[in-house]
Amino acid sequence: MLELGKSGSHGTERGTVPVLADGAVVATLRAANWKEAATAEVGDRHWAFRRQGNRELVGRWAQEPAESVRLRAHQISVWKSSWTMELDGLAVDVAATSMWKGTHRYSSAGRPLADSGTTGGWSPRPTLTTEPGLPLDSAVFLLWFEFVLSRRRMVAAGAS
């Protein structure tokens, strides 16, 4: 299981969130405070994640041109909060598993890829249980996607 750690923990700098697998840091994520954007380091690869337009979240290698897209989440319906994804050419279906918790199941051609969850407690953080074969780069993008959606839910709850 992968999970987002607390900012600045596990030897990361302040403002950097470790991505943990069984308590060990396997990647890092640095999310922007006021924008839906982040940078990630997965092994020797540097990623740039950002919102593109109103309904897409995209990821590319940081050294590629800004218009490049390797990872994409596209919102199909705002009302139903339904999404579809493409992870390095792999079409992925996103299904909500709990509206209350905001968790999702990710699958491709009927084959499960991952399930999201949360750590629980007062400030829950996203977790991701992946099936073998899902690249770590894609899993980090899914964790960032879950992080963005949880921020959106908190903003919506605060506005009501």
On whether residue 14 sits in a domain, the answer given is no
Q: Answer yes or no: is 1 within a domain.
A: no
The model's pLDDT over 5-45, given as tens digits with 9 standing for 90+, comes to 999 999 999 999 999 999 999 999 999 988 999 999 999 99
The DSSP string of 46-81 is EEEEEEETTTEEEEEETTS-TT--SEEEEEEETTTT
Q: How many domains does the chain have?
A: 1
Residue 143 lies in a domain: yes
Q: Do residues 58 and 71 touch, judged by C-beta distance below 8 A? A: yes
Note whether residue 98 is domain-resident. Answer: yes
135-146 average pLDDT score: 97
Q: Is the pLDDT of residue 154 over 90?
A: no
Element (H, E) at 97: strand 90-98
Give the confidence band of 135 by pLDDT, cuts at 50, 70, 90: very high
pLDDT mean over 150-160: 76
- Burial degree of 59 (CB within 10 A; 0-12, 13-18, 19+): buried
pLDDT of residue 160: 61
Instruction: Specify if 48 maps to a domain.
Output: yes
pLDDT in the model for residue 81? 74
* Average confidence (pLDDT) over 49-77: 95
Angstrom distance (rounded) from CA 43 to CA 33: 24
Is the model's pTM score more than 0.85? yes
Domain residue limits at 44: 30-159
- Residue 48 or 155, more confident: 48
Residue 82: inside a domain: yes
pLDDT digit string, tens, across residues 107-125: 999 999 999 999 977 888 9
Query: Residue range 52-62: average pLDDT?
Result: 95
Per-residue DSSP letters for 123-135? Answer: S--EEEEE-TT--
